[in-house]
Amino acid sequence: MPASAAGAYFDNNATTPPLPAVVEAMRPCLEANFGNASSIHRQGQQARAMIEAARAAAAELIGAEPNEIVFTSGGTEADNLALFGMIPEPRGAHLIVSAIEHHAVLHAARELAERGAAVSWLPATRDGRVRPTDVEQALRPETRLISVMLANNETGVIQPIEAIGRIARQARVPLHVDAVQAAGKIPVSVEELGCSLLSFSAHKFHGPQGVGALYVRRGTRLRPLFYGGRHERERRAGTENLAGIAGMGAAARLALRDLEAEARRQSRMRDALEAAVKQSIPEAEALGAEAPRVPNTSCLHIPGIAGEALVIALDLRGYCISTGAACSSGAVEPSHVLTAMGLEDAEARACVRISLGKLNREAEAEAFCRILPAEIARLLELSPARHAKIKSGAISVA
């Protein structure tokens, strides 16, 4: 949404708008360069060249080799390929998973448990981090995989993956990292993380929806989910999404180019938003603010409000935010991430997520800094619980 229009889009952790350069990179694939990359004629080889150029760009974004990149339909497929591909025979196997993972990992792990695998669920601290010592203590002789995300989709908190990676290497257990909310926002190096597999998705860093990738370290044995042709070095059968992959490559190049500057700019906007809310509503809390976070994400706990009510109120003003993961919108249960961090159900329901992107401008953020506290205050004034607490002196009004 242009800065001159009323409102702005602040739900970039759900999806980001494709950059104009990304759209232009995709256009030839939809108009002229439409060949099948498995064909040996000129059109096919042009398509193959575009895919391999994108593969090199995606690999560079995470410090991998191009032949270690497997293109998928997105982060969910990449996560599923990692878990089911590494544990094709679940009975008797053991898997370690954090309790704050995205549902793409959580539900895959639960399905493996249904098929006979044992799963250890790692708790999170109040600031939203997994303790490496808990990973170490959960290890068993039959542990086949550890899966811990790099950055949480709801809080933005960065997990201590390097420490977990050292533990995994010492135990000779493969580590899978869901980096969907980290790639393109912070520096990511698969060598420094020490992982064997890493998932990322184009639409989280201003690429198209419907395309992602799984990094598979050379030498890692992975059983495919799909069977058919010999695509992606026999790790993911099916004709490649040429336009999507070309767009992902373009988005990866742009993300890497602007990584440091965007991190500084977005963290300034995020900090200003949090300060504005705190000044107006002193009891408000930015969850995970004491831990390392990706620069674009703020998860605000505002006692006395319903998060969904604030999302609706801001939507009527033209601002898009969320109460958490887009995959869970409409869910009756409170956020599993926030309850795993120790919040009560009512506290978890009093949270909203604001996530910035490359197309957000300072003028939008400044306007939002004025509107957000005012909308929160208006909702609090309508809350009977708020009036009771004010009367008792339990909370103050700035």
What is the structure's pLDDT at 32? 86
Our measurement of the distance from residue 277's CA atom to the centroid of its chain's CA atoms, rounded to an integer in Å, reads 24
At 31-48, the pLDDT tens digits run 988 888 888 898 889 999
Cα within 13 Å of Cα(351), Cβ side:
28
The chain-wide mean pLDDT, for the chain, equals 93
Domain layout of the chain by residue ranges: 8-16+259-392, 20-254
This prediction has a pTM of 0.93
d(CA 211, CA 264): 27
What is the structure's pLDDT at 21? 98
For residues 175-204, give the mean pLDDT.
98
Q: In 32-150, where does DSSP find H-type helix?
A: 42-62, 75-86, 103-114, 132-138
Cα within 13 Å of Cα(196), Cβ side:
21
In 3-state terms, what secondary structure has residue 304? coil
What is the structure's pLDDT at 394? 52
Residue 116, sorted as left (phi over 0), alpha (psi -120 to 50) or beta, turns out to be left
At 212-233, the pLDDT tens digits run 999 999 999 999 999 999 999 8
The superfamily in CATH containing domain 8-16+259-392 is Aspartate Aminotransferase, domain 1 (3.90.1150.10)
What is the structure's pLDDT at 1? 42
What is the structure's pLDDT at 158? 98
Range in 35-44, 53-62, 167-176, 300-309 with the lowest mean pLDDT? 35-44
Helix (H) / strand (E) element for 44: namely: helix 42-62
Q: Residue 332: which pLDDT band, with cuts at 50, 70 and 90? A: low
- Residues identified as active-site: 327
Write out the CATH class of domain 20-254. alpha beta
